[in-house]
Structures are given as C-alpha cells and as structure tokens.
Structure 1
Amino acid sequence: MPESPTTAFDEVTDWVLARNPERESVGADEDLVENRLVDSLSFVEFIFTIEQAAGTEIPMDTLDLDDLRTLNSIRKTFFDGRDPATG
C-alpha cells in the first residue's frame, strides 16, 4: 500500500516527535507546552519550523500563543486553506 504524501504540516508534527523520541504520536488537541513537548529552549526553533513549513513569517508582535498550543490550532492558523501536497 503506498504511503500518503507528506504535507508541509507533517514537518511540524515530525519536528515535535523528533524532539520527543519516547513518543510515537501526538494528539491533535494535546497541549504541546503543558505536556512539555515544546519547551522554552526549543520554542524559537519550533516557530521557525512552522514558518518554514507554512511558507509564511509569524509576526512576533501580534503572536497569540494559543495559536501554537496544539497541532489543531497550528493547522487552523497557519495551514488551513493551503494545498495539502504543498502545505
């Protein structure tokens, strides 16, 4: 069975899982900060990963941290409405 194509959003999920090798998955509504999947030391790199995958700059002066708390909120804020094959 062929694998589904990797989307740009998958890069965000892959980044979280790569930094948490004890995890096999991350729930779409799981709080990434509260569950320490993204910590303060890696937060800037996390934002950069989202920017690169979404192809957009995240304005830090208007950033709402709730938009970055879960994979669902990240998808909704930065990826919805994009072509799934390209992000």
Structure 2
Amino acid sequence: MERIAAWLHEKNPGLDGPIETDEDLIEARLIDSMDFLEFVDLLEDISGTGIDLQEVTIDDFRTLDRVRQRFLSTSGAAAGGAPARD
C-alpha cells in the first residue's frame, strides 16, 4: 500500500499526512478521470495481474480498503488475478 499512497501524494502535492483507508478517493478528488488509467496501471504492476475494466466497478477503486480487498488480497486476487506484491 506504500506505493499507492506515494502515488496519491505525488498526484496531490498539497495533500498532507496519511490517507485513511476508508477515505473516498474519488469524492476527495485524490483520483480523477485523467489519472484513473495510470492508477489502474499501478495496481496491475503491484498485483502482477491485468485488470479487466469490464469486470470491475468504480466502487472497486473508491477506498484503499476496497482496493486492497479487490486487487491486492489473496481472496480478491483469486477473483481477478494473481496475489499481490507491495
């Protein structure tokens, strides 16, 4: 999750402090439409598997908790790819 947090801080230089795992990344405008595909690429790189955008919803990217559960956990990876590396 450190790489994700670092990426979010890089994209949001005015962001101070840690990002809460239940913070809505989209509502807080930490991820916008211009950065979304880059965010997906980052998650694919970390997880070691592709993300089929036809099989996910925006809610899968809404919070760090949901990202971890959907793309970076063994159970989430089983539903959509390989186990995570962070």
- TM bucket normalised to smaller: 0.7 to 0.9
Any idea what SS the aligned residue of 2:49 has?
coil
Higher relative contact order (CA 8 A, sep 6+): 1
Give the TM-score taking structure 1 as reference length.
0.79
Counterpart for residue 5 of structure 1: none
Counterpart CA distance in 2 for 1:79 and 1:58 is 12
Give the TM-score taking structure 2 as reference length.
0.80
Q: CA deviation at 1:46?
A: 0.7
Task: Count the aligned residue pairs.
Answer: 77
Counterpart CA distance in 1 for 2:7 and 2:42 is 8
Higher share in helix: 2
Q: Percent identity?
A: 34
Counterpart CA distance in 1 for 2:42 and 2:61 is 12
Specify every segment of 5 or more residues in structure 1 that has no aligned partner in the other structure, as ranges.
1-8
Q: For 2:19, give the aligned amino acid.
A: V
* Structure ID, larger Rg: 1
Counterpart CA distance in 2 for 1:53 and 1:10 is 11
Q: CA deviation at 1:66?
A: 0.7
Specify every segment of 5 or more residues in structure 2 that has no aligned partner in the other structure, as ranges.
75-82
Q: Structure 1 segments of 4 or more deviating over 6 A?
A: none
RMSD, matched Cα: 1.4
